[in-house]
Structures are given as structure tokens and as C-alpha cells.
Amino acid sequence: MKALHGIRVLDLTHMLSGPYASMMLADLGAETIKVEPPGKGEGTRRLLEKDPKHSLHGFGAYFLTLNRNKKSITLDLKAPAGLALFHRLVRISDVVIANFSAGVMARLGVDYEHLAPINPRIITCSITGFGETGPARDRPAFDMVAQAMGGGMSITGQPDGPPTRSGIPIGDLGGGLMGVIGILAALQARHVTGRGQHVDIAMLDAQISLLNYMATMYFLSGEIPERLGNGHFVHVPYDTFRCADGYIIIAVITDNFWAALMELLDAPDLDTPENREQPGRLRNKETIHRRLNEILATHTQAYWLEQLRRYRIPCAPVNNLAQALADEQVLARHMVVEVAHPLGGSTRMPGNPIKLSETHEDTFSPPPLLGQHNREVYQGLLGLDEAELEALQAAGVI
């Protein structure tokens, strides 16, 4: 049994931040019913669908990954009959999650104010760029907007280069993760209060939260951090270094790691009394980095990683995606899984990072065809008969 077995989620999400949140809930065992517009369905169904390198049977990489473990129904929420059906589903569900623009849930009649009278235990979650309050609430936002406004881009990149967005869409994914945390918190609170509530997640808020201690350092000093490339503003050496055939990182965050590094390397010019403590290494950062690059360039990545690990110095290869997804530790943790396509075949994708000792199953059902579960949901859960189903379909409601 999975941890969220017995929880039913109505998933109104699209693109990335919302679907990532509902994917995490589905992976944890929530019955997640993806509610899609009749006809073309949710937008990511079309994304990469005809790209021969990044699709399988018309499902692009986005849709394949983000919609595993979910069911799909079609429903026109703008039609009165469609909204009425949705409200019936709300009566027997626990969570409604969406990442429409601010105010859209209310206009559709699927926000907490509309749904709480129908089911006082319902939990609603909105993931938007700027949240549902404040002067920017109505602005459009995507991943890069959140990254830029949240400050992270200003400290990412080389010192002499432009601000750089994270290669991982952390603006979207950060909002999705905060959505999951908020929903789980609301489910726990419901055990105490007996009532649901609304979870208001802003992608910008998530980025500000992720600034963490760096924001506090700014408030204490008044100094605005600058881009440091892969270096660190305190620890030295803490950076990327070139070997004969690739890159590694070395992260010396305590003086004893530096002592171990000096024991490993034949570098008497670096093993000075000043460098044995962090303040001295910070003063000599440029010299230390230059010399380490010279030394490490004399052997291969594999050679240096073996030596550094033998001395228990924090280090790692700079993996490309192929290397990362083939790493023995990643595979041992079941972080690469095989997920089937409903029309046949399968593909690999990242697994579930949340490992629970008692309620954990690494099982993944295929992403659904559009409306694949209409009969299961409308007949099995709501009790509609065949004639009602056909009439709704003929009217374009489902």
C-alpha cells in the first residue's frame, strides 16, 4: 500500500508546475484524476507529440513523465452540466489542484469558496506565478520569470558573464514541490479541524524561500551577492576543476579536508601555514584554484576521483545526463524506472525520490489516453448510466 492510498485528487493542472505536484501525489498513492478539456485535452499532450526523438506513440516526454499513475477524464468545466458533474466529484474527493492564472479557479466555480459548501473537507491548491494576493497577482509568469524575479539568476553564472537561469526549471518545479508540501500539511490539519482549506502557492514565493541563508546574509551585511561561477563565497577550494579528460568538483568545507588534500597532493607551495585555515585560503583563492587546475590536469577524472575518495575528500564527477542516469547509486535507489505506454512499449524516466519504510511501492501505471477513465469515473464513482454518458458525450460536455 502506498502512503496516500485512499486520498482522491482532482487534477486540473497543465504544463509543468501543477502537473509535477500532482505527479508526486500520484506517485505517493493518491488516486489522481486528471480533468481535461474534451477534444485536445491538456496542453502538454500536444507538446513534442510529433518529435520523433522525444515522443512515444504520440506522447511527448513532458506528458509521459508528468502524468504517470494518473487517470484521465474529459469534462468541459465551462458548461453548466460539466460544472455540475465536477461538483459531484468534489463531494467524494479530498483535493483539487490547479495552476491556472490567479482568479481563474473562482471564475470557473472551482475555487475553495465555491467548493467548501459542497464538501467542507475539500482542500484546494492553486499554484500561480505570484500568488492570489499582492499587486502582481494578475501578471503572467512562467519558470524563467520566477527565476529572474526571485534573485537566483543574479547569483548564477560566471562573474564576467550575464545572469544565467538554472538548467533545471527550478521556478516551475519549486512551485510544484511547495504545492505538494502545502497539500500534505492541509491534509494533516484536517485530521485536527475536520475541515479543508485553501493552499495558495506562488512560484515567486518558492524562489525567495530557496534563497534561504543567502537572503539573511544580505539583510545582515547590506551587501548584494555577486555571481561566483561554481566557486563559493566562504569555502576554498570549492569549485569545478579540469582533469585530463573531464571535470570534477572538490568541496573543501573544513580545515581537515584541506589537510587531507595536502597529504594527497605533492604541492608544498600550497601547504602553507596561512592556507591551513579557511580565512587564509579565501585570501589566496585565485592562486589555489590556478595551482589545483594545473595539478589535476595531469591525470584523468577517474584517477583523481579514486584518490580523493581514498582520502575521504568531498568530490564528484560533473556528470552529463547520460552519466547521471547510469550512476550506480542512482540505479540502486530505483531513481530510473520503466513506465509503460497505454498503447504498448515503454520508456525510462526518473523515479520517486521519497522512500518510505512502511508504505512505499515503486509502481508506476502508464500515463492515460485522453478520457481513458471516463466510464470508470462517471459510471463507477458517480453512478451515471449508459444513456446519460452518451448524452453528455453528444453534447460535448465530456
Give the CA dihedral 327, 333, 336, 339, nearest 10 degrees: 160
Asked if residues 25 and 32 have their Cβ atoms less than 8 Å apart, the reply is: yes
Asked if residues 348 and 277 have their Cβ atoms less than 8 Å apart, the reply is: no
What is the C-alpha separation between 9 and 15, in angstroms, rounded? Answer: 17
- The strand pairing partners of 340, in sequence order, are 346
Closest CA to 368 of 86, 64, 17: 64
Is 205 designated active site? Answer: no
Query: Helix, strand, or coil here: 68?
Result: coil
Output the nine-digit C-alpha cell for 362: 515503486
Exactly one of 11, 76, 94, 172 is catalytic; which is it? Answer: 172
- The strand pairing partners of 241, in sequence order, are 248
What is the C-alpha separation between 378 and 191, in angstroms, rounded? Answer: 29
Instruction: Evaluate the omega torsion of the peptide bond into residue 38 and state whether it is cis, within 30 degrees of 0.
Output: no
Residue type present at position 49:
E
Asked if residues 7 and 28 have their Cβ atoms less than 8 Å apart, the reply is: no
Residue 35 Cα to chain centre, angstroms? 21
Count CA atoms within 13 Å of residue 20 on its CB side.
21
Output the nine-digit C-alpha cell for 263: 597529504
H-run or E-run covering 392: helix 386-394
Catalytic residues, which ones? 172
